[in-house]
Structure formats: structure tokens, C-alpha cells
Amino acid sequence: MAFSVAQLFGIGVGYLLLFFLVAYLTEHGFVPARLVRHPITYVLSLGVFASAWAIFGAVGFAHDFGYNFLAYYLGISGAFMLAPILLAPILRLTQTYQLGSLADLLSFRYRSPVVGAVVTIAMLLGILPLIALQIQAVADAVHILNEETSQEILAFVFVVLIIMFAILFGARHISTREKHEGLVVAIAFESLVKLIGFFLVGGVILFEVFDGPGGLNTWLAEHPEQLVSLYQPLEEGPWRALVAAFFVASVGMPHMFHMAFTENLNPRAIMSASWGLPLYMFFMAIPVLIIVWAAAKLNIFSNPEYFTLLVPEALNSKWLAILGFAAGLSAASGVIIVCTLSLSAMFLNHIILPMAPFYRRSNLYSWLLWTRRILIAAIVLVSYGFYVIMQNKHTLSELGFLAFVATMQFVPGLFGVLLWPKANKDGFLAGLAAGLSVWLFGLLLPVLLGIQFHISAPLLFDDLFPTPNNSYMVATFAIFINSTIFGIVSMLTESSPAEMQAAETCNVDNLRRPQRWELSIGSAREFVGRLAKPLGASTARREVELALNDLAMSLDETRPYALRRLRDQLESNLSGLLGPSVAHEVMNGSIPYVIKSNDTSSQDIHFIESRLEEYHDKLTGLAGELDSLRRFHRQTLQDLPVGVCSLGSDGEVLGWNSALEAITRVSPDQILGSQINHLPEPWNGVFSQFIDNESRTQQVEVELDGVHRWISLHKAAIGLGKMNQINSGQVVVVEDTTEVKMLEHHVAHNERLASVGRLAAGVAHEIGNPITGIACLAQNLRYDSREPAILESADQILDQTKRISRIVQSLVSFSHSGTTEVAMEPVYVYECAQEAIDLLSLNKEVAQVIFTNAADPNHCVKGDQQRLTQVFINLLSNARDAMVEGGEVKVISHAHEHTIVIDVEDNGSGIPAEVLKRIYEPFVTTKDPGKGTGLGMSLVYSIIEEHYGQIVIQSPLDSENGGTRVTITLPRYTLSAEEHSEVDHEEQHEPHPDR
Amino acid sequence: MYIDRLVLIFIVGAYVLSPSLMQWWAESGTAWWRPFIIWGLLIAVTFWIARSRDLDGF
């Protein structure tokens, strides 16, 4: 069974074109977004881990090293099973600070461009064998299927296609914030192809060679040596080194980092990956042993790494061989593409950019993009060169092991990222150098060049390195020496302040940020000018606008806290574009932070609060309790019914509660983080003056929207530290006392009125006697004289004295109102109204109007008949005075369960609005001077209040015709059964006049 | 990045003790599928844990 070159070329290119098509369709929106972001797509894209090793190398490894082959699957599965606690923190860091690769992460943590550069170079060295492994696997596979073809040429064609794909679909955007959906879906598709392909190969072989699982068990029972060879190598020891290497690969391998973190389209999907990827690897592992045993049964002994192709060939099954080949091609291409993309980004950010003068480039974005594309091509071609140099002398397992041991050297550094804030750059670099040296001299050079070293360490080693049996010991030794040196050097050397800050950012266990970092910049607009120097004007403007957009802020932003956030966001965004080292350098050069040294008062409260809010659901035990307490106190302060504002020692507003927002109409979002003098007027003046003032309390009157308001301010210093000796700022309590002030004014006014009333009553009492005297004298004058002129004068004197008496009488009644007990007896509304009407009808000197008493004669209220009659007299006379001749005044009553409602309605001129507001105040009248005292309505109000009633005036009733309705509500009098019979009895003897 | 130290100790402990697990495999004779059963059970447990809690902080 042999394939022609054309056939193989057609299959290979056809498959890769299908791969291109999937990416193209996704990029152009033909694949639903839900599917693109679905956790299953993420899990399958992580299947990139299953490289050509999984299809070919693992079979050979199982053949040679038995169950050790499972380390490859179990190592990565273990890492992902622990994803929520191991990988999620890294994902959070990479997403927050836009870190696109392991070099980005480590240089961000250790705050050093050197770290980035060293990691990049180490990674390239370590990964070259892995990429070469993929090229070799494809070339070998083709060679097995067609022995005549030159492996190098086919490998080259394959490499060119891969470069095209990586450039077209993996390097479309330069910033890590923009994801390559096409790439993600294509890699997921590729994982699906290799899973189905490999599983089918295993399944078909199981049934073709062994007649199903039963046959396999029978065959194994007959060949117990097969199982012994499976278990035997486990006892030899490489197991732990292998599991550790593949465990670390979840973060250490650039293609895994790229798919798990950089191209993660849905962060929550990492929870699904915690079981999804182990399940995927489970299915990928099952066919391996079946293929190994099938080869044993079919007596295939040569080249065990390619049993996946050789068994189908022995079975003479062409399509099965093609399936195996497609699975291998798929696995190899996926790894090369993703590794290259990741490495190119690392190279650009950590080698090219720190060296290349990219300043003031007008087309920075396209320059970055093209440099990256060139890098992709260069890296793939270098790997191809590496493959050619090796001349097929090494097994896939050897190459894979080299790469995995190299990436293991980043483990101590990662430990420092997540768990050890004391770790520093010097420790990391020293440890890495030691570990890599062991790897280089103990593994890489011996494997590539065939040199063997004799290492002799008393009590530890005395052996020749490497031999197939001790290479895992070199790996263990490399990581041991790396970790030891990392720990010792980190403990002996000091970290820089920037490194300590980065360490705290990464270690969220520690929320302390000892100082508040200040910026020497006043507004968001200034950012553009400062960044124009390193980035060029157009790039600077675009980046500032993007960051402002991310934070929903405007270019006019001036709040210090907001500007600090803007600076952090800009650094994160630039980190996605240029890598963290260069971004940090650019930001530090242009917009440096100023640290206020030894000033414990300037703790960044917003920073601490925002971090606590972010992590509050992860705080457990005492920390959780304390956080609940903090939230309770904060909420108490927030909901306090008085305004509270807390200020830092430099006048920055740290707290602004909702009551204060209601008083000042300035929201916390507007002012938090600003200086207090950024408040709008009139509040700026009020607060600034009060804070500078020595007095601890102050009352101020402010005008807000044309309304005068009274504000009361109190302040106190916030003491921190032992004995409260450190002044950390002030707390200002603000209260709106407008209502209290109004009430005070009202009381004072009423007091004045009451004294006027008392004076008037006293005067009235005193005037009464002389008036009586004058009236008597005027009467006498009438009897004593016959002179018409004198008689007329006497009449006039009498009229005037009567008028004075009337005024005096009302004054006395007014002054007595409220001082005497009100008799609570049954009073018929109809009778009171009728009595008032009868009295008023006697006066013929005024305009004659029609009084209609339509009150129900049965409606009875509780009260004093005399006083209620007085109410009707006042209301009806007011109504009459407001009408012209012939007008009508109506008295109507309605009964409710507990009340009687009486309406006195006229069709007179109505009451002007300004008079209506003050109608119950004494001496308020619309009548001509001398006609009314202005005490009538005031008296009515007092009497109704004494009766526990209510009075409402509606005027005018009609905008055209005027009219007034006075509605009085009085408590209804309910007759008891006894009283009822008494009343009925009386009525029989003395019938009501109107009935 | 709140990592429970107990979990870490457990991971390291399990890693150190893994050779004992290997021995147990090796004793099992013809039951070559035993590691796959353990692996499958681990996946089921992880699936159950992942279902019952959501990822914080995203």
C-alpha cells in the first residue's frame, strides 16, 4: 500500500485549506458568536496540547517506557483539574494587565526588561526542539506513506503553508485585547479532527486486529509479558519528573499559554476546561495501548513511534492510514502555528522593541504588525533549519522531553508570581541561569551533539550524562538547583520598590498598598501631550481615547483618582501592544508616579476598597468576617440620614454619602477622588472656608436654585495609629437645617402675633369703659337738645361708638378663643346656619343676597352652639360682602360615618391667591379700611380647631365666575339609644319650627 | 489570587506519594484499565465541582 506524492500532497494541502476555511468563515461571522465563545470551543482549542507527540510519540513512548506514557496526559489533566485555584489567578492577571505570554507575565512580575529578554531566549531555545518535532513527525509520516519522496522538500512545503496561516489568521491584530476568533475556532476544529481521527484508528484496529475488547483481553491473558512491560518501567523512576514536566506545560508551554490565557474568549470557560481538557486527553490516551498491542500482535517491531501509520499499513487499510496521517498533520500544524505566534509576540515585545527606536512612528500599529509577521516566518524557518540540522537522528520522545524540561525551568519564577512576594528578579535570573545550564549541558548538547559529560558530586551523583536511563535525573537536578538558587538569592537580595508593588499586585493575599501614588499631571488631556513624545501624536491620542473609553471617562477628567486609574489602564493597554516592560518604561518616562514617602496618612483608600470589593467573595474565616464588618460600617455611613464627607490629609475626597448627595446634588462619582476645591459653587466656598476655619461648627446660608437654605456643618479630625496621634484627614458632617430654621421663624412670628393679640385684648378691655361713657353722653345729648345739627352729631357719635364696640367685641372674642372650655353637646348644623341667616337678614344696610340653608336638619355635630353660630355668621357675612345685590349663598351638609361635612358656597368675587395663603392670620382682610377687622377668618379657624375639625377653602371655584367654597369637617355626634328616645319625646311636644 | 495552602499541601503530598499509587497499579495484573477508571472518576469529581461553583472575579 503506497500513496503517490500527488495524493499525499493533495491530502495535506486539502486539509490545511479546510483549516484556512474554518478560520476564514469564523473571522467573517459565518460561525455563530455563541459557538465561538462556547466553553466547548475553548476546551477543544486547549486540545492544541495534544501535539504530534500524542499521535505518534506517545505510542513509541508507551512501547518503550510502558505506563510512563500516561504522565503526558495526567500531568496536563492535573494542572487543569486545579485550574480554579492555579490557572484562574494567572488568567485574571493576564486579562487585567493584558499580558500575552509567559515572558510578559514574568517581566511584569519582576519588573525587568532583562527578565523578559532572558525568558524569551530561553523559551526559543526550549521550544525549537518541540517545533522541529512537529516538522519531523509530518515529514516522517509522509515518508512512511511514500518512501520515494524527499522528506525535506515535503517538510518545507508544509512549513510554508503554516507560515501563511499563522500570518493570515494569527497576526491580524497587534494588541492582545483583540482576539483572533478565527484562530481559536480553527484550533478547536483541528483538535476535533485529531480526536476523531485517532479514536477511529484505535477503534478500527481494536476490531480488525483483536475482534473487539473480548479478543483483546484474551490476547493479553495469553501474552502476560505485554502487561509486565507496561508496569516494569514505572518502578524505574522517571514518572514523577515526567508528570511534573507536563503539569508545568499548562503554563510554561507557549502554545498552552497562548490558547488558555491570551486567546481566551470566555474567562468563565476555564471552569469547563477543568474537566473538559482531562476528558479530551482521556479519549486521546485510550487508543495508544491498543495500537501498541496491535503492533505486537502483527509483529511490527521497527519504528514504534509510527505504529499509528504502520499498523493500518500492515492491515492494508488506506483510509485508516489517511486518518492517522490527518490526525498527525492536524496536531503538528496546530502546535507550530500557536507556538510561533506566541514566540513572535515575545520576541517583538522583549527583544525587538526594547532595542528598536519605535519613537514617533506615525504608523506604529502597522510597523508592529509587519515586524511580527516577519518574526513568525523567521521562527518557523529557524525551526525548519533545526530540523534539517538534526537529520532525523532523534526520536520524537527525546525532542519532546528536551522542550518540556526547558519550560520546567520557569516554575520557580511562576511560584514567585503567585505565592511568594519576597521572590525577586535576581533570584529568578540566577535560578533560571543555573537550571538552564544544567539543561543545556546535561540534555541539549549531549542529545544534539552526542557529547556526554561525567558529573561527579560526592554523595549525590557519579554518573555519565545523559544515558537513556538517567535523563530524567538531569531534569530533576536542573529544577532542584534552579529552585534552590532562586530561593537563596531572593532571600539575600532586596527587591526594587516597583518590583514589590508588582509582587503585591500579583499576590492578592496581600491587599496592602502602603502609599498613595500621586501623579504630576492635572488632566486627561495632558496624557496625550506627554505620550506623544515616545509614541507619536496620533498613536498617543488613539491610545488615550481607547483607555478613556474603557473607563467611561472624558478627556476633561481632572480627578486625581480617575487620573491614576487612567494611567494604569493606559499601561495595561500599552502592555498588550508593546509588552509590559516597554509599556512600563514608556509610562514611567512620560507620566511617572510620585510616592509620598513615610506618609501613612496617604493610604490609597479607593485602591484598597476596590480590591476588597473584587475579592470579597473569596475572603473566608476571619478575613471574611472583617470584610462583612467593613461593609456594614460602610453601609451605615452611606445610609446615615446626615451628610458625611471624609477628606484625606491633602484634601482629597475619600467619602461622600447619599445624604450629602441629596443636600449638595453632587454625586459621589463626580467628586470621589477629587480635591475638595473641585466642588461646584456654592459648595466649594462653603467647604473650603469651613475646613480652613478653626471653628468646629458653622451655620451657613446658601442659595440653591434661587431658594435660600440653611446648612449646618461640623467637623472632626480622623486619628489613625496608636493613640490617634497621626492626623489622617477630616470628617465633615453636613446637615440641612432649612426646615428647622423655617419653623423657628414661624414660631417667632407667631409669638409676635400673640403679643399683639394680648395687647389688643388689653386695649379693648380698657377702651370698653370710656366708650360706654361716650355712648351714654351721646344719648344724653340727644335727649337734652333739639338742635338738628347737634342731634345729627349725637347720632353719628352713637354710630361710631357702636362700631368701636363691635371691633372691641371681636378683639375680646379673638383673645378669649382657645382659653375657654368648649361645651361638647349635640348641635344641629341646620339650626346654627338658620340662626346666623336670621341674624344677618336683620341688617338692611348692606347688599341684600339670598341665603339658602340646604343643610340636612338631622345632621348633628359635637360642639358649642354659640361658637358654631359665630362661625356661620362670619362665613356668611364674608360671603355676603363679596357679592353684589341678588347673589346667593348656600349652606349644604353631607354626612359621613364619623364626620359631617358642611359647605358654605357663594358665587361672589372669590379670594385672591396671595390673600388665600394668609387668610387665617389675624388682621388679614380684603375689605375696605374700616369695614372689617381682619379677625373673622382667624376666629373661624380657632373655633373649628377647638372642635377638632378641619377647614378648607377653595377659591375661585371657577376661573371666570369666581365663587368660593368653604368646607368644614366636624366630628359627627352620634346619639345613644337613650338620648334618641329623649330627643324624639321632646320633638313630639315641641315640634321643630321648620318641620 | 487567593490560593488555599491546604490544597497546595495536598497537591504536593499526592505528588510525593504517587509511586505508591504506581505500585498499586502494578499489582493489579491483568486489570490494565485500572488507571483509566481512576482517571475517569477524577474527571467526574471535577465535573461535579465545576458545576456547583462559578468562577469568581470575572
Res A725: pLDDT: 47
Q: What is the mean pLDDT of residues A512-541?
A: 74
Please list every residue in chain B whose beta carbon sits closer than 8 Å to the beta carbon of residue A619. Answer: 2
Cα angle value A6/A162/A181 (rounded, 5°): 125
- Using alpha carbons, list the distances in angstroms from residue A841 to A620, A834, A852, A891, A994: 88, 10, 12, 15, 17
In the structure grid, which three cell numbers stand for residue A167, read together? 500570518
Which among A111, A222, A168, A588 has a CA at the least distance from the CA of A337?
A168
Which amino acid, residue B15? Y
Q: Give the least confident one: A40-49, A156-165, A931-940.
A: A931-940
Which amino acid, residue B13? G
Res A482: pLDDT: 92
What span, in angstroms and rounded, lies between the C-alpha atoms of A765 and A757?
12
Res A723: pLDDT: 45
What span, in angstroms and rounded, lies between the C-alpha atoms of A130 and A112?
27
Res A517: pLDDT: 62
Say if residue A509's pLDDT is above 60.
no
The residue in chain B having the minimum alpha-carbon distance to the alpha carbon of residue A237 is: B19
Q: Check A615 against B3: CB less than 8 A apart.
A: no
Res A728: pLDDT: 65
Which among A123, A84, A85 has a CA at the least distance from the CA of A107?
A123
Please list every residue in chain B whose beta carbon sits closer than 8 Å to the beta carbon of residue A227. Answer: 29-30, 32
Distance from CA of B13 to the nearest CA of A (A): 12
φ, ψ at A951 (rounded to 5°): -135, 135
Cα angle value A573/A577/A583 (rounded, 5°): 70
Res A898: pLDDT: 85
- Asked whether the CA dihedral A860, A863, A868, A871 is positive or negative, the reply is negative
- Asked whether the CA dihedral A626, A628, A629, A635 is positive or negative, the reply is positive
Res A724: pLDDT: 47
What span, in angstroms and rounded, lies between the C-alpha atoms of A895 and B44?
78
Cis status of the peptide bond prior to A466, with omega within 30 of 0: yes
Res A233: pLDDT: 64
Question: Which helix or strand (DSSP H or E) is residue A463 part of?
Answer: strand A461-465
Query: Which residue has 473650603 as its cell numbers?
Result: A688
Which among A831, A961, A784 has a CA at the least distance from the CA of A888?
A961
Give me the architecture of the A609-736 domain, per CATH: 2-Layer Sandwich (3.30)
Q: Summarize pLDDT for A836-892 with one digit per residue, the tens.
A: 888 888 777 777 888 999 999 988 998 888 888 889 988 998 888 888 888 889 999
Rg (CA), chain A: 49
Res B1: pLDDT: 41
Contact B3, A418 (CB under 8 A): yes
Determine whether domain A820-989 maps to CATH 3.90.400.10: no
What span, in angstroms and rounded, lies between the C-alpha atoms of A473 and A88?
31
Contact A187, A193 (CB under 8 A): no
Please list every residue in chain B whose beta carbon sits closer than 8 Å to the beta carbon of residue A221. Answer: 30
Say if residue A177's pLDDT is above 80.
no
Mutation site, A226, A229, A277, A279, interface B, largest B CB count within 10 A = A279
DSSP A168: I
Say if residue A96's pLDDT is above 80.
no
Determine whether domain A5-356+375-392 maps to CATH 1.10.4160: yes
* Partner residue opposite B1 with nearest CB, options A240, A267, A506: A506
Higher-scoring residue by pLDDT: A640, A98:
A640
Res A276: pLDDT: 93
Res A496: pLDDT: 83
Rg (CA), chain B: 15
Mutation site, A65, A94, A234, A251, interface B, largest B CB count within 10 A = A234
Axis crossing angle, helix A425-439 with helix A471-492, rounded to the nearest 10: 160
Which residues lie across from A828 on neighbouring strands? A860
The residue in chain B having the minimum alpha-carbon distance to the alpha carbon of residue A86 is: B3
Contact A934, A925 (CB under 8 A): yes
Q: Check A217 against B30: CB less than 8 A apart.
A: yes
Contact A421, A440 (CB under 8 A): no
Question: Residue A991: CB partners within 8 Å, gap ≥ 6?
Answer: none
Confidence band for A980, pLDDT divided at 50, 70 and 90: low
Q: Check B54 against A268: CB less than 8 A apart.
A: yes
A742 in contact with chain B, both atoms CB, cutoff 8 A: no
Length, in residues, of chain A: 995
Half-sphere exposure of A678 (CA within 13 A, CB side): 22
Which amino acid, residue A473? M
What span, in angstroms and rounded, lies between the C-alpha atoms of A43 and A666?
48
Res A702: pLDDT: 84
Cis status of the peptide bond prior to A129, with omega within 30 of 0: no
Q: Check A67 against B35: CB less than 8 A apart.
A: yes
What span, in angstroms and rounded, lies between the C-alpha atoms of A294 and A61?
15
Please list every residue in chain B whose beta carbon sits closer than 8 Å to the beta carbon of residue A506. Answer: 1
Q: Check B58 against A92: CB less than 8 A apart.
A: yes
A511 in contact with chain B, both atoms CB, cutoff 8 A: no
The residue in chain A having the minimum alpha-carbon distance to the alpha carbon of residue B53 is: A271
**Domain ranges in chain B?**
5-52
Say if residue A232's pLDDT is above 70.
no
Q: Check A227 against B15: CB less than 8 A apart.
A: no
Say if residue A438's pLDDT is above 50.
yes
Distance from CA of B12 to the nearest CA of A (A): 11
Higher-scoring residue by pLDDT: A984, A822:
A822
Contact A174, A365 (CB under 8 A): yes
A-to-B residue pairs, Cβ atoms closer than 8 angstroms: 106
Q: Check B1 against A418: CB less than 8 A apart.
A: yes
Q: What is the mean pLDDT of residues A355-377?
A: 76
Q: Summarize pLDDT for A397-420 with one digit per residue, the tens.
A: 778 888 888 888 998 898 888 888
Please list every residue in chain B whose beta carbon sits closer than 8 Å to the beta carbon of residue A92. Answer: 1, 57-58
What span, in angstroms and rounded, lies between the C-alpha atoms of A578 and A349?
5
Say if residue A239's pLDDT is above 80.
no
Say if residue A262's pLDDT is above 70.
yes
- A772, A773, A775, A778 alpha-carbon torsion, rounded to 10°: 170
Contact A506, A417 (CB under 8 A): yes
* Partner residue opposite A85 with nearest CB, options B4, B30, B54: B4
Q: Check B40 against A240: CB less than 8 A apart.
A: no
Distance from CA of A234 to the nearest CA of B (A): 7
Q: What is the mean pLDDT of residues A558-569?
A: 79
Q: Summarize pLDDT for A535-551 with one digit per residue, the tens.
A: 777 788 888 888 888 88
Q: Check A267 against B25: CB less than 8 A apart.
A: no
* Partner residue opposite A419 with nearest CB, options B3, B39, B49: B3
- Its pTM stands at 0.66
Res A901: pLDDT: 92
| Interstrand relation of A850-854 and A888-895 (parallel, antiparallel or unpaired) | parallel
Q: Summarize pLDDT for A428-437 with one digit per residue, the tens.
A: 999 999 999 9
Chain B contact residues (CB < 8 Å to A):
1-4, 7-8, 11, 15, 18-19, 22-23, 25-26, 29-30, 32, 35-36, 39-40, 42-43, 46-47, 49-50, 53-58
In the structure grid, which three cell numbers stand for residue A191, read together? 483538535
Which among A527, A420, A536 has a CA at the least distance from the CA of A483?
A420
Q: Summarize pLDDT for A279-327 with one digit per residue, the tens.
A: 999 999 999 999 999 998 888 888 888 888 888 888 888 888 888 888 8
Q: Check B30 against A85: CB less than 8 A apart.
A: no
Check if A5-356+375-392 and A609-736 are the same fold. Answer: no
In the structure grid, which three cell numbers stand for residue A311, read together? 499498523
Res A558: pLDDT: 76
Which among A771, A201, A115, A828 has a CA at the least distance from the CA of A431?
A115
What span, in angstroms and rounded, lies between the C-alpha atoms of A496 and A68?
44
Question: Which helix or strand (DSSP H or E) is residue A701 part of?
Answer: strand A697-704
- Using alpha carbons, list the distances in angstroms from residue A73 to A278, A281, A406, A734: 8, 6, 19, 65
What is the percent of chain A with per-residue pLDDT over 90, rounded to a whole number?
12
What span, in angstroms and rounded, lies between the C-alpha atoms of A761 and A808?
8
Distance from CA of A57 to the nearest CA of B (A): 20
Q: Summarize pLDDT for A644-659 with one digit per residue, the tens.
A: 998 877 777 888 888 9
A267 in contact with chain B, both atoms CB, cutoff 8 A: yes
Q: Summarize pLDDT for A732-782 with one digit per residue, the tens.
A: 999 988 888 888 888 888 788 777 777 777 777 778 778 888 888 888 888
- State the DSSP string of A904-964: EEE-S----HHHHHTTTSTT---SPTTT--S-HHHHHHHHHHHTT-EEEEE--SBTTTB-E
Res A485: pLDDT: 93
Distance from CA of B32 to the nearest CA of A (A): 7
Which residues lie across from A704 on neighbouring strands? A707
Res A595: pLDDT: 58
Res A329: pLDDT: 87
Which amino acid, residue A972? R
Query: What is chain A's mean pLDDT, rounded?
Result: 82
Q: What is the mean pLDDT of residues A241-256?
A: 85
| Alpha-helical runs (H) found in A28-69 | 33-36, 39-46, 52, 58-65
- A739, A743, A746, A751 alpha-carbon torsion, rounded to 10°: -170
- State the DSSP string of A233-300: GGGGSHHHHHHHHHHHHHHHSHHHHIIIIIT-S-TTHHHHHHHHHHHHHHHHHHHHHHHHHHHHHTT-
* Partner residue opposite B56 with nearest CB, options A221, A286, A617: A617
* Partner residue opposite A278 with nearest CB, options B43, B54, B55: B43
Query: Which residue has 556526554 as its cell numbers?
Result: A452
What span, in angstroms and rounded, lies between the C-alpha atoms of A44 and A294?
28
Q: How many CB atoms lie within 10 A of CB A180?
A: 22
Confidence band for A459, pLDDT divided at 50, 70 and 90: low
The residue in chain A having the minimum alpha-carbon distance to the alpha carbon of residue B2 is: A509
* Partner residue opposite B39 with nearest CB, options A74, A234, A614: A74
Say if residue A603's pLDDT is above 70.
no
Mutation site, A246, A275, A280, A505, interface B, largest B CB count within 10 A = A275
DSSP A678: G
Res A280: pLDDT: 94
DSSP A715: E
Q: Give the least confident one: A118-127, A158-167, A686-695, A802-811.
A: A802-811
In the structure grid, which three cell numbers stand for residue A592, read together? 511617572
Distance from CA of B29 to the nearest CA of A (A): 7
- Strand, coil or helix: what is A732? strand
What span, in angstroms and rounded, lies between the C-alpha atoms of A380 and A398?
20
| Interstrand relation of A899-906 and A888-895 (parallel, antiparallel or unpaired) | antiparallel
Res A455: pLDDT: 64
Q: Check A240 against B19: CB less than 8 A apart.
A: yes
Res A960: pLDDT: 76
Confidence band for A514, pLDDT divided at 50, 70 and 90: very low
Q: Give the least confident one: A153-167, A627-641, A898-912, B15-29.
A: B15-29
What span, in angstroms and rounded, lies between the C-alpha atoms of B48 and B53?
9
Which among A304, A336, A384 has a CA at the least distance from the CA of A144?
A304
| Interstrand relation of A517-519 and A899-906 (parallel, antiparallel or unpaired) | unpaired
Q: Please classify residue A457 by burial: count the beta carbons closer than 10 Å to its beta carbon, then call 0-12 exposed, 13-18 middle and 19+ buried.
A: exposed
Q: Summarize pLDDT for B13-43 with one digit per residue, the tens.
A: 877 777 677 677 666 565 778 888 888 998 9
